[in-house]
Amino acid sequence: MKILAIESSCDETAAAVVEDGRKVISSVIASQVEEHKLYGGVVPEIASRRHAEAIVPVVSQAVEDAGLTLDDIDAIAVTYAPGLIGALLVGVNFAKGLSLSTKIPLVPVHHLRSHIASNYISNKDLKPPFMCLVVSGGHSHIVMVNDYTDMKIIGKTRDDAAGEAFDKAARTMGMSYPGGIELDKVAENGNPLAFKLPRPVVHDAPYDFSFSGLKTAVINLIHNAAQKGQELNKADVCASFRYAVVDCLVTNFLKAAEDFEVKTLVIAGGVSANSLLRSTLEKRCAELGYKFYMPDKSLCGDNAAMVGSQGYYEYQKGNIANSGLNAYATKNIEEG
């Protein structure tokens, strides 16, 4: 079964053709990040306009690259929630129009579910049940994936998402949006023990995260040093901050896995590209005898291939939308 997938939840307009949920036939991503860099973050109004401009060429390119025509497509999958509402609406309305005019069934896909599904493309043997740490720019969840379309949130952030904390810390150090990637690179040459940073815990909720205090601590460290005219070693600050964030993520994730007696662990989302998170979990899972899976780095960020993968499983489950489909800025992953 061939699915044409469309993604426009944030600042990437993407389309892909995916076969049977696991094989990517084509994947096109038009990123707007260079433009948003000028403003230090995503400007929703600009994002919507750029999606509207890019959607037709990007979708056409994906079908062409696959060597197919729309006659070969069995379903159209589209990200419908959560994300920037104006951005989502571009993809959803385009997909609805295409579905209506071609009579190809329309499949709505939850953005975080699709991040999890990026693992089905990278790891052909991976099947639910497993526990997944979903860490992106907008979310930090520990999710029990009972089945492809049956999920339960075990823990989540009470304030900032991990990616958001990375980006804000990076911005304070003068790195351009989204700074998480550069912070990760700079941290490679630093000492993670150079600065003592807090490991915030949420009282009575051992699987929940809180990153805003940690983010404020590193920002205060940088500002205080600047006021005193001191120069901090940037690599050491990056390494200490990265270590603190990864420590919080790994500690809660492994505790959840132990308490729920799950031995297959998976990571997903933009922050799952983080080198320390990947290497730490790889090492700890090997020590504990757990199976550990992660997406290829190229599939960690927003893309449409992952939407085509999850779309396949949603379709199998009979999750078909009609022209009444709407987009939602927020939506619980459990509802799909």
Q: Which residue is closest to ligand KG4 by CB?
A: 270
Token pair for 134: 């979903």
Q: Which residues contact 238 (CB under 8 A, 6 or more apart)?
A: 170, 173, 183, 184, 186, 187, 190
Q: Which residues contact 140 (CB under 8 A, 6 or more apart)?
A: 134, 156, 157, 161, 162, 163, 209, 211, 249, 271
Can residue 208 be called a binding residue for Zn ion (CB under 5 A)? Answer: no
Can residue 163 be called a binding residue for ligand KG4 (CB under 6 A)? Answer: yes
CB of 137 to Zn ion, least distance (A): 7
Distance from C-alpha of 139 to C-alpha of 109, rounded to nearest angstrom: 16
Pick out residues in 121-140 that bind Zn ion (CB under 5 A): 136
For residue 12, what is the enclosing H or E element?
strand 12-19
Can residue 164 be called a binding residue for Zn ion (CB under 5 A)? Answer: no
Residue selected from 302, 303, 305, 310 as contacting Zn ion according to rule CB under 5 A: 302
- Our CB check for ligand KG4 shows the closer of 138 and 311 to be 138
Show the binding pattern over residues 263-302: x = contacts ligand KG4 (CB under 6 A), - = does not. ------xxx-xx--------------------------xx
Distance from C-alpha of 164 to C-alpha of 181, rounded to nearest angstrom: 12
CB of 277 to ligand KG4, least distance (A): 7
Can residue 311 be called a binding residue for ligand KG4 (CB under 6 A)? Answer: no
- Taking alpha carbons only, the member of 270, 327, 321 closest to residue 9 is 327
CB of 274 to Zn ion, least distance (A): 14
Distances 4 to 10, 73, 282 between C-alpha atoms, Å: 19, 6, 33
Residues in contact with ligand KG4 by the rule CB under 6 A: 10, 136-138, 163, 166-167, 178, 180-181, 184, 269-271, 273-274, 301-302
